[in-house]
Amino acid sequence: MTDRADDLAEDLAAEPLGEAATSADGATPTGTAGGEPPVGDELPADLQPDLVDPEDYVFPNNNRRRVPGYLYLAIAALLVAMYLAFGDGAYVNRGLLLAAGILVAVGAYSILSGWNLDVDERDALVAAVGEVGFPVGHASAQMGWRGLLSRPTWRVLLYSADEPPTKRGFVLVDGVDGAIIDSFVEDNPEDWSELED
């Protein structure tokens, strides 16, 4: 078996680059057509930015956290019902009540932290532009969470429209009601001279 592997390694080393690899019996491997190498993994179409219409893209909503919360509460209710139906025995005992209590606490937290994201990234950018007080060129928004109840918050970084940018700002925008939480504006300390033509 090792002789065959050595022969195959020598054949592959002797093969010029750019030609399709062939198996020991001379057949082209599956996935190669017309001498092309096999194609690797690809992202699904909905995750390829150049194929997705920006109007069709929707940032995932935080209120999805409520779904597992309701499931935890339903399982807790089932555990309590089993305890009440079968009493305190070897298999069904007060441990089920303890587990139900933990599930109720976790479920309540999931429901309370499942804020509805009413402000999308475009709305956050508009609010941030109004806050910084200079014409904006490049900008980006990132979702974050704050506080014990994980309230959604947009973190927006903005640069002035001049080339190279002379100012930059950072604005926190509440993802639930669009309120400005905090903002910071400064002269741009970054050296962009290497990027100039």
Domain assignment of residue 161, yes or no? yes
Q: Which range marks the domain in which residue 103 is found?
A: 62-112
User: What residues in the chain have per-residue pLDDT under 70?
Assistant: 1-40, 43-59, 192-193, 195-197
Secondary structure in 3-state letters for 42-87 = CCCHHHCHHHCCCCCCCCCCHHHHHHHHHHHHHHHHHHHHHHHHHC
CATH number of the domain at 168, please: 3.10.450
Query: How many other C-beta atoms lie within 10 A of the C-beta of residue 52?
Result: 12
User: pTM of the entire structure?
Assistant: 0.61
191's CB contacts (< 8 A; 6+ apart) are none
72, 134: one domain: no
Identify whether 37 is preceded by a cis peptide bond (ω within 30 of 0). Answer: no
DSSP-H helix ranges across the chain: 2-14, 66-86, 94-112, 121-132
Give domain status of residue 26, yes or no.
no
DSSP-based three-state secondary structure for 103:
helix
State how many domains the chain has: 2
CA nearest to 169, candidates 182, 183, 155: 183
pLDDT tens string 20-58: 444 444 554 554 555 666 666 776 666 665 655 556 566
pLDDT value of residue 24:
47
